[in-house]
């Protein structure tokens, strides 16, 4: 007897035979958890999930409650979730939401008590956040400290008072700002709390290259470290700087040799000084064609990076260029603004 299987139906499948593609492939969703964490989970139970739905998922220790943040397959593929093993257990019910509210109250009580014991034992540590597992059996305290802290007695105090498994986890100041969240000087939420996944080194050299005032209050974030956004536009500044003559370069113009005093990378212009000591501002489009030399004479054998619209490509550091720029290529320098 031949069994006919209709498309889209699982009826009549031979036991042990191949399952339809729809049954073999599980949907992957991204769930927002506590502490600004976002992780990927398998929807192997084929639950009907929508964005912002509360769900119960498998966690490192038991279960956790979270919010469906992303479920579009194309966007999830761009994020490259890798090997996803944890699953969405169920959609959160009313009892689960009540349990989560109760845990939030217990967390605040636990944080207040922990701060009292830290002060009592005179420990040099800054508590930033607390997180309780969904079942209430484990409480994790997050803190930052400049030096190693012996908190063994503190753990005993907390365990006896809270009747739960206690974990104290030391984090850096950047991770502390990420967990606490806030608003930056730009008026937007912290990058580290919203979309920035990894921290990369940020140096004062980046601020100097962008000609920013080295005022700690202006270039430091809430964490006290240099703002991560200093690296966002650095490549554009470097591209603009490569087209400008370096400071100290001598430009041979129809009015004589002029020395570059400083560059305005963002405006793509330079300030130059003539033989009489006058200072003038020249835009990149009005500059003589490069390459530019710090001595103004091609016989020096030294040359900085080529710049300007007429720069000769491929001439590196230390190469020799025998032909001096022709006078008929060099426009007359006209001062635009006097330096204030």
pLDDT at residue 298 is higher than 60:
no
Quote the pLDDT of residue 66.
96
Quote the pLDDT of residue 294.
62
User: Is 268 exposed, middle or buried (CB count within 10 Å of its CB: 0-12, 13-18, 19+)?
Assistant: middle
Quote the pLDDT of residue 296.
52
What is the band of 79 on the pLDDT scale with cuts at 50, 70, 90?
confident
Q: Which of 105-109, 186-190, 301-305 has the highest mean pLDDT?
A: 105-109
User: What does the alpha-carbon distance between residue 58 and residue 121 come to, in Å, rounded to a whole number?
Assistant: 36
pTM of the model: 0.63
User: Is 326 exposed, middle or buried (CB count within 10 Å of its CB: 0-12, 13-18, 19+)?
Assistant: exposed
Omega before residue 325 within 30° of 0, cis: no
Per-residue pLDDT reduced to its tens digit, 237-287: 888 888 888 888 888 777 778 888 888 888 888 888 887 788 888 888 888
Quote the pLDDT of residue 49.
94
- CATH for 242-329 is 2.30.30.140
Quote the pLDDT of residue 339.
40
User: What does the alpha-carbon distance between residue 91 and residue 68 come to, in Å, rounded to a whole number?
Assistant: 10
What is the band of 105 on the pLDDT scale with cuts at 50, 70, 90?
very high
Q: What is the mean pLDDT of residues 81-85?
A: 85
Third-level CATH fold of 97-171: GMP Synthetase; Chain A, domain 3 (3.30.300)
Show me where the domains of the chain are located: 25-92, 97-171, 175-231, 242-329
Own/partner contacts of 266-271, CB < 8 Å, gap of 24 or more, are: 266/210, 266/211, 266/237, 266/240, 268/240, 268/243, 268/244, 270/244, 270/245, 271/339
């Amino acid at each position: 007897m031949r069994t006919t299987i209709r498309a889209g139906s699982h009826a009549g499948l031979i036991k042990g035979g191949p399952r339809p593609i729809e049954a073999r492939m599980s949907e992957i969703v991204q769930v927002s958890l506590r502490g600004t964490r976002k992780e990927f989970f398998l929807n192997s139970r084929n639950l009907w999930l929508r964005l912002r739905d509360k769900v119960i998922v498998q966690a490192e220790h038991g279960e956790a409650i979270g919010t469906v943040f992303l479920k579009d397959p194309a966007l999830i593929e761009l994020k490259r979730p890798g090997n996803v093993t944890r699953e969405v257990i169920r959609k959160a019910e009313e009892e689960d939401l009540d349990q989560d509210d109760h845990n939030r109250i217990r967390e605040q009580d636990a944080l207040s008590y922990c701060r009292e014991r830290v002060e009592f034992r005179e420990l040099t540590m800054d508590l930033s956040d607390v997180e309780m597992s969904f079942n209430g059996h484990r409480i994790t305290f997050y803190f930052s400290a400049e030096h190693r802290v012996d908190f063994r007695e503190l753990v005993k105090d907390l365990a006896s008072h809270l009747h739960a498994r206690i974990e104290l986890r030391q984090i850096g100041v950047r991770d502390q700002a990420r967990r606490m969240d806030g608003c930056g000087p730009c008026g937007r939420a912290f990058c580290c709390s919203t979309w920035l996944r990894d921290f990369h080194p940020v140096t004062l050299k980046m601020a100097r290259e962008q000609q920013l005032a080295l005022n700690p209050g202006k270039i430091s974030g809430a964490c006290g470290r240099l703002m991560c956004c200093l690296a966002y536009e650095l490549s554009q500044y470097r591209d603009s700087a490569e087209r400008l003559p370096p400071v100290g370069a001598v430009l041979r113009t129809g009015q004589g040799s002029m020395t570059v005093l400083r560059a305005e990378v963002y405006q793509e212009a330079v300030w130059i000084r003539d033989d009489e000591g006058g200072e003038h501002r020249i835009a990149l489009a009005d500059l003589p064609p490069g390459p530019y030399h710090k001595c103004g004479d091609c016989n020096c054998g030294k040359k900085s990076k080529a710049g300007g619209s007429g720069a000769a490509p491929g001439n590196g550091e230390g190469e020799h260029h025998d032909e001096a720029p022709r006078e008929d290529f060099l426009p007359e320098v006209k001062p635009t603004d006097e330096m204030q």
